[in-house]
């Protein structure tokens, strides 16, 4: 696998949310606005890169029998750093994301990359893998939150698109409530499956 393939595999081919169905809890819970989705994605990417780099560096010194607890401690350390940083410099985002920042500790995407990739590969490859998976996670969150914010409030990143066009559409509140997360995810996954089937049929012809 080339360095570019390692970086980009998490965008679509192995997207942690839309293909591997990992990290669904924050994907459904915090994606009520693009700001929240982007903030959670970038925070998770930072933790992913930090924890993967440390696991890769220490892989020869971590006993196999206790590797999972050690991985969790490493991840928790970076989550604490990110959480305190957000509280200090972006308090509004920290308050908006709330409990879901500390819950990054048990995000199966981060633990999964530490176990499946970082513990078996070099520092550079692990960093690139973590960056690609983190950006793929962020992309999925932004996609879901864009759909929910637009359909739920008629705005994109806080800008009232419909009102700017002179239209009186304020959105459906259901899309920014919990059921809206499932609906948005279902619509996106359904479109992806339709596109795969379309390409398969087109290729068969």
The pLDDT tens digits for 140-173 are 999 999 999 988 888 888 778 777 777 777 778 8
Tokens of 188: 């996106």
User: What distance in Å separates the CA atoms of residue 192 and residue 19, rounded to the nearest whole number?
Assistant: 9
Residue 184 near residue 147, CB atoms below 8 Å: yes
- β-partners of residue 159 are 156
CB atoms within 10 A of CB 95: 10
| CA distance to 57, 92, 112, 187, per residue, from 32 (Å) | 37, 15, 26, 16
Helices (H), the chain: 3-8, 24-29, 34-58, 67-89, 91-97, 108-116, 123-153, 161-164, 178-204
What per-residue confidence (pLDDT) applies to 205? 56
Tokens of 3: 């360095």
Task: Examine the pLDDT at 84 and tell me if it is beyond 90.
Answer: yes
Residue 68: pLDDT band (50, 70, 90) is very high
Among the listed ranges 9-18, 68-77, 168-177, 184-193, which one has the minimum average pLDDT value? 168-177
- Domain span at 82: 1-201
Tell me how many domains the chain contains. Answer: 1
Closest-CA residue to 133 (of 11, 5, 3, 20): 11
């Amino acid at each position: 696998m080339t360095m570019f393939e390692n970086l980009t595999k998490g965008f679509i081919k192995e997207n942690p949310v839309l293909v591997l169905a990992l990290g669904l809890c924050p994907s459904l819970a915090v994606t009520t606005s693009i700001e929240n989705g982007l903030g959670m994605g970038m925070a998770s990417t930072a933790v992913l890169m930090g924890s993967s780099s440390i696991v890769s560096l220490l892989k020869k010194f971590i006993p196999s029998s206790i590797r999972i607890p050690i991985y969790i401690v490493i991840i928790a350390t970076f989550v604490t750093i990110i959480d305190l940083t957000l509280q200090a410099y972006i308090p509004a985002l920290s308050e908006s994301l709330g409990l879901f920042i500390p819950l990054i500790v048990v995000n199966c995407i981060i633990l999964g990359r530490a176990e499946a990739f970082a513990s078996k590969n070099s520092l550079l490859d692990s960093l690139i893998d973590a960056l690609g998976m983190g950006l793929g996670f962020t992309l999925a969150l932004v996609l879901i939150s864009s759909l929910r914010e637009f359909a739920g409030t008629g705005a994109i990143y806080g800008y009232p698109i419909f009102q700017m066009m002179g239209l009186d559409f304020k959105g459906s509140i259901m899309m920014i409530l919990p059921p809206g997360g499932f609906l948005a995810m279902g619509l996106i996954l359904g479109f992806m499956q339709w596109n795969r089937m379309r390409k398969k049929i087109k290729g068969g012809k």
